[in-house]
């Protein structure tokens, strides 16, 4: 069976996570994606790792290999007139162009929608940038930490006024880029649907800062509504709602509804302290959390994570183990769903990667080929598809265009 997007043709000019992840989601659902990399160095992800055995190698980066499955790979310097001319030929045959080129570099290269739509009026062009293509921050560079901070997550992941010695934190890795990629993929497919309906393309402008800020839940309202600043260790108005330490790890204790709290009290053997007036409802438990947590920690640290989780589940109390990477890799549930997949790549070898975050009943998600070696498909795309002669390809290679 063909993948859900098997008729879609995508050109990607992507570095690191955002644009590559957006096009990966489409490629793994069947779309043809041609990834354009810089000649010589390629995508920055190639030097970011992790690497097998800790030995850096441009063809062995786990980040690159994961983000670029099912893609054809070419090298092309779009900042050179000859390179941009070739890009226009690729775009003329495509439905979608996805990129995360820094806006000033877009301007220098002439990478703008009005220019490219003359080549292909049906083109959907998606630009994923740190702050969007308009506004005073348009031309600012931003790394992962910058976007997390600008998006508001770092302060929420701070310790609050009660712990000024603990700084705000970002999450590990490149999650801001991944969120930009998810939003970019959804926005692109919306534009593709409009393209199918109207026969015309459009420019999609995705801001990673706004992608992050849009997921802050009710934290914008905490201050005007309740005069609270939501933080990692801030005072919560209702409790219990905390990660707590067991004998062998951490578990998230969540029982703010009264029936959940009563079930937890029953699980603990109905201790006498649970009947105190200061713990009578979830608001009082929040107000007196410093007293309550002492009793709960005494009970929880005597349990193992799995034992407490199963006992809570049996009483319909929504506790959750805080999974380690080892827990996830060995998860019985994820294994049963076939989440992790082994991918063989000719240079890096065979390794295990996260698989499909979704399931299709009739149009399968699948890994059809591993991430490309740098410039692997130059001959196939530039020569066979675009019709450039061997002599022309040789000259473009000698001059650094491809």
Coil, strand, or helix at residue 376?
Answer: coil
Assigned domain for 367 exists = no
Coil, strand, or helix at residue 43?
Answer: coil
DSSP 277: G
Please give the Cα distance from 344 to 180 (Å, whole number).
28
Same domain, 124 and 182: yes
Assigned domain for 24 exists = yes
Nearest CA to 30 out of 340, 369, 376 is that of: 369
DSSP 379: I
In this structure, are residues 170 and 145 in contact, taking their beta carbons and an 8 Å threshold? Answer: yes
Coil, strand, or helix at residue 11?
Answer: strand
Same domain, 29 and 173: yes
The mean-pLDDT minimum among 40-44, 63-67, 212-216, 223-227 falls in 223-227
Is the bond leading into 240 cis (omega within 30 degrees of zero)? yes
pLDDT for 117: 95
Please give the Cα distance from 324 to 64 (Å, whole number).
23
Assigned domain for 366 exists = no
pLDDT for 101: 96
Higher-pLDDT residue of 234 and 378 is 378
Please give the Cα distance from 122 to 116 (Å, whole number).
10
Please give the Cα distance from 105 to 99 (Å, whole number).
12
In this structure, are residues 165 and 233 in contact, taking their beta carbons and an 8 Å threshold? Answer: no
Which residue has tokens 């929504």?
Answer: 318
In this structure, are residues 22 and 68 in contact, taking their beta carbons and an 8 Å threshold? Answer: no
Same domain, 110 and 182: yes
CB count within 10 Å of CB 9 equals 15
pLDDT for 302: 96
Return the CA Rg of the chain: 25
| pLDDT band (50, 70, 90) for residue 383 | very high
Over the chain, what is the mean pLDDT?
A: 93
Same domain, 200 and 249: no
Same domain, 119 and 248: no
Tell me the HSE value of 137 on the side-chain side, using a 13 A CA sphere.
Answer: 14
Give the pLDDT mean for 284-296.
94
pTM: 0.90
Q: pLDDT tens digit string along 150-169? A: 998 888 888 877 788 888 88
Indicate the helix (H) or strand (E) that contains 156.
Answer: helix 153-156
The separation between CA 250 and the C-alpha centre of its own chain, rounded to angstroms, equals: 25
φ/ψ of residue 211, rounded to 5: -60, -40
- Name the token pair of 160: 């609050």
Assigned domain for 198 exists = yes
Q: pLDDT tens digit string along 343-377? A: 999 999 999 899 988 888 899 898 999 999 999 99
CB count within 10 Å of CB 55 equals 8
Assigned domain for 224 exists = no
| pLDDT higher than threshold 80 for residue 48 | yes
Is 385 buried (19+), middle (13-18) or exposed (0-12) by CB count in 10 A? middle
Same domain, 248 and 206: no
Give the pLDDT mean for 85-93.
96
- Name the token pair of 309: 């989780």
Same domain, 159 and 199: yes
Please give the Cα distance from 116 to 94 (Å, whole number).
11
φ/ψ of residue 93, rounded to 5: -100, 0
> Considering all CA atoms of the chain, what is the largest pairwise distance in Å, rounded to the nearest integer?
87
Same domain, 192 and 81: yes
DSSP 373: P
Assigned domain for 336 exists = no
Same domain, 62 and 109: yes
CATH number at residue 166: 3.40.50.10540
pLDDT for 18: 96
* Domain end marker among 264, 293, 323: 323
Strands 96-99 and 124-129: parallel
In this structure, are residues 216 and 55 in contact, taking their beta carbons and an 8 Å threshold? Answer: no
Same domain, 309 and 210: no
CATH number at residue 311: 3.30.1540.10
Same domain, 138 and 279: no
* Domain of 300, in residue numbers: 241-323
Indicate the helix (H) or strand (E) that contains 250.
Answer: strand 250-254
Is the bond leading into 323 cis (omega within 30 degrees of zero)? no
Same domain, 173 and 303: no
Q: How many domains does the chain have?
A: 2
In this structure, are residues 96 and 8 in contact, taking their beta carbons and an 8 Å threshold? Answer: yes
In this structure, are residues 234 and 223 in contact, taking their beta carbons and an 8 Å threshold? Answer: no
* Beta-bridge partner residues of 253: 242
């Amino acid at each position: 069976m063909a993948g859900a997007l098997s008729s879609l043709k995508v050109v990607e000019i992507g570095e690191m996570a955002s644009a590559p992840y957006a096009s990966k989601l489409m490629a793994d659902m069947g779309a043809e994606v041609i990834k354009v990399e810089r000649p010589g160095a390629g995508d920055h992800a190639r030097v970011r790792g992790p690497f097998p055995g800790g030995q850096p190698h441009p063809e062995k980066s786990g980040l690159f290999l994961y983000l670029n499955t099912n893609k054809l790979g070419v090298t092309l310097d779009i900042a050179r007139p000859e390179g941009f001319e070739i890009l226009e030929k690729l775009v003329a045959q495509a439905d979608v162009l996805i990129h995360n080129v820094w806006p000033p570099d877009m301007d220098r290269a002439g990478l703008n929608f009005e220019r490219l739509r003359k080549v292909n009026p049906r083109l959907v062009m998606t630009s994923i940038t740190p702050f969007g293509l308009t506004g005073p921050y348009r031309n600012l560079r931003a790394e992962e930490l910058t976007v997390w901070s600008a998006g508001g997550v770092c302060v929420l992941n701070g310790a609050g006024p009660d712990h000024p010695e603990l700084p705000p934190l970002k999450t590990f890795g490149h999650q801001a880029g991944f969120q930009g990629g998810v939003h970019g993929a959804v926005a692109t497919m919306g534009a593709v649907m409009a393209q199918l309906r109207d026969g015309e393309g459009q420019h999609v402008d995705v801001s990673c800062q706004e992608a992050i800020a849009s997921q802050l839940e009710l934290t914008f309202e905490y201050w005007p509504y309740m005069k609270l600043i939501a933080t990692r260790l801030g005072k919560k108005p209702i409790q219990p709602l905390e990660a707590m330490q067991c004998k062998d790890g951490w578990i998230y204790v969540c029982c703010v509804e009264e029936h959940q709290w009563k079930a937890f009290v029953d699980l603990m053997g109905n201790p006498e302290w649970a009947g105190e007036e200061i713990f009578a409802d979830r608001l009082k438990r929040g107000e007196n959390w410093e007293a309550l947590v002492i009793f709960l920690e005494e009970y929880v640290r005597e349990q193992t994570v799995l034992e407490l989780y199963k006992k809570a589940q049996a009483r319909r109390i929504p506790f959750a183990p805080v999974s380690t990477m080892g827990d996830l890799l060995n998860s019985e549930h994820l294994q049963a769903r076939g989440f992790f997949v082994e991918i063989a790549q000719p240079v890096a070898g065979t390794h295990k990667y996260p698989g499909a975050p979704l399931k299709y009943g009739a149009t399968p998600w699948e890994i059809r080929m591993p991430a490309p070696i740098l410039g692997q498909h130059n001959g196939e795309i530039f020569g066979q598809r675009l019709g450039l002669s061997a002599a022309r390809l040789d000259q473009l290679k000698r001059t650094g265009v491809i």
